[in-house]
Amino acid sequence: MDTIQKFSRTTIVLHWLVAASIIGLIALGIYMVETESWHLYDIHKSIGLLAFVAILARLAWRWRNGLPQPVRPMSRIEHVTAVAAHVVLLVLTVVLPLTGMLFSGASGHGFGVFDWQIFPSHEVAGQAVPLSQRWSDIGQTLHGFLGYLLLVLVVLHAAAALKHHVIDKDATLKRMLGRAPEST
């Protein structure tokens, strides 16, 4: 279990596994859309679905463990902001892949993990035909918007972690890096 001095290995591994996947998926998502690299779409969906498993495991872990307690006494406003930011990050990591699945499923493209098809494509003469144009549009708009929103929040979140480390010189970042409190 997590304590104020030390995070459990599960917390640390899940945080960095999900963080690396999310940062990679945002970069890949924006790149493939901007450059119309259609061959990357299946890779993005496959990694997104695998990340979703880690995201759900992390959510369950946080539900059991609660959110991190501050490493030092903080003002109420600072604490409330940190809790709100973590809750929003957790919720967005769950909702974003769901909107991707909504778009891919409703647009008729389908999705799966590499060769394992989870939601079949809906094609006529080799062309994807939407199952529902309305839900496809809603999924696509939400996935794009929330993807960029998450990017902004992740930048702010990483900046806050660096501020703790460089300006406040507290153990917030070291704790998430698994460093023992003696080395702070």
Contacts with ligand HEM, residue ranges (CB under 6 A): 11, 15, 18-19, 22-23, 25-26, 29-30, 33, 41, 44-45, 48-49, 51-52, 62, 67-68, 82, 86, 89-90, 93, 96-97, 100-101, 103-104, 111, 140, 143-144, 147, 154, 157-158, 161, 172-173, 175-176
Of 19 and 125, nearer to ligand HEM (C-beta) is 19
CA 181, CA 184: separation in Å to the nearest integer?
5
Residue 126 in tokens:
């080799």
Nearer to ligand HEM, 94 or 124 (CB): 94
**Between 27 and 126, CB nearer to ligand HEM:** 27
Q: How far apart are CA 164 and CA 172, in angstroms?
A: 6
- 128-152: burial string, b at 16+ Cβ within 10 Å, e else: eeeeeeeebeebbebbbebbeebbe
Q: How far is the CB of 125 from ligand HEM (least distance, A)?
A: 21
Taking CA atoms, 76 is separated from 52, 145, 155, 157, 181, in Å, by 33, 31, 23, 18, 24
Is 23 or 131 the residue whose CB approaches ligand HEM more closely?
23
Residue in the block written with tokens 């917030």: 172
Q: Which is nearer to ligand HEM, 112 or 125 (CB)?
A: 112
Q: Taking the complex as a whole, how short is the minimal distance between the CB of residue 22 and ligand HEM, in angstroms?
A: 4
What values do phi and psi take at 122, rounded to 5?
-125, 100
Shortest reach from residue 80's CB to ligand HEM, in Å: 12
How far, in Å, CA of 102 to CA of 69, rounded? 35
Q: What's the min distance (Å) between Cβ of 107 and ligand HEM?
A: 8
Question: Shortest approach of ligand HEM to residue 12 CB, angstroms?
Answer: 8
Helices in 35-75 by DSSP H: which ranges? 41-65
